[in-house]
Amino acid sequence: MSLELKSQLGNVDVSNDVIANLTGGLVSQCPGVVGMASRQQLKDGFTELVKKDNYSRGIVVRFDESDTLSIDVYIIVSYGSRISEVAHQIQSEVRQGIQSMLGVLVETINVFVQGVSVEND
């Protein structure tokens, strides 16, 4: 399914992968986010870090029958980050960014923390 934007000049179809990549770019700029996580947990509970060129594996974009847009975001946070603040920042940035770029209101943004990254100095 895709998002159809209508104007006087014609229609523009925006695919779910494009929305996912836009969302991934916004999420990756939020403080406390180490990266996007694959929405599929690997065996033994390990989580795969998604590369920047494939954000769509860490984001699910859905439209319901009334064309309401919902986005699920799967992330890995840095150790010591306040997860609630990181999640709130993501929701705010994604809602504002998608509305600004596409002119569409995002109804729901669900943030799933798939892991915590501990960096050794």
CATH code assigned at 18: 3.30.70.1350
What are the beta bridge partners of residue 4?
A: 13
Burial of 116 (0-12, 13-18, 19+ CB in 10 A): middle
CA-nearest of 119, 118, 93 to 106 is 93
- pLDDT profile of the chain (121 residues), mean per 10: 80 89 93 84 52 72 84 94 97 96 92 86 50
Q: Which helix (DSSP H) or strand (DSSP E) does residue 109 occupy?
A: strand 106-117
Q: What is the pLDDT of residue 101?
A: 93
Instruction: Name the pTM for this structure.
Output: 0.83
Total domain count, the chain: 1
**Domain, as residue range, for 99:** 2-117
Q: What is the pLDDT of residue 61?
A: 94
List the Cα angle 17/18/24 in 5-degree steps.
85
